[in-house]
Amino acid sequence: MTQAGLLIVIVVSMVVGGLTGMLLEGVLSGLPLAILAGLLAVIAAVIVRNVVMVRGAQVGPDDSGLPGLVIVFSLVASLAGSLAANEIAEELLPPQLPQGLVGALAGLLSAILMAMLMITYHMNPDKRFDR
């Protein structure tokens, strides 16, 4: 179920980040929009992932929840992902780019950093899961 959790995190983060960018296009732009989109994307991804994993099939190890410390670190990682998305948007993409794409990019990069934290948390060298 770990792979499903990672896919849920990435897809939900991109969708929420893109929707945040589209909804706030006239209000915010640039760095504040990227930070808000990345933060909301990670929060939504954590909530959706935990709800889906608790209700999902109980096959394999129980990885339905994440501890609070990993979630807090994920929020900090969303800041780094949002800053990276803003830099990419400013340097490589055209200036008239829709803000929904900037928000989706912020959500994607924040989700990738959160996925790395999830993988690191679930890695346990003392346990071996044979699948």
Could you read off the pLDDT of 72-119 as tens digits, one per residue? Answer: 888 888 899 899 988 888 888 787 778 888 889 999 999 888 888 877
Residue 17 lies in a domain: yes
Residue 63 lies in a domain: yes
Residue 127 lies in a domain: no
* Average pLDDT of the residues of the chain: 80
Residue 54 lies in a domain: yes
Is it the case that residue 15 has pLDDT exceeding 90?
yes
Number of domains in the chain: 1
Residue 128 lies in a domain: no
**What pLDDT is recorded for position 31?**
87
pLDDT tens per residue across span 60-84: 455 555 667 777 888 888 899 899 9
Residues 6 or more apart whose Cβ sits within 8 Å of residue 88: 105
pLDDT tier at 40, thresholds 50, 70, 90: very high
Distance CA 104, CA 110 (A): 10
Residues 6 or more apart whose Cβ sits within 8 Å of residue 60: 1, 129, 131
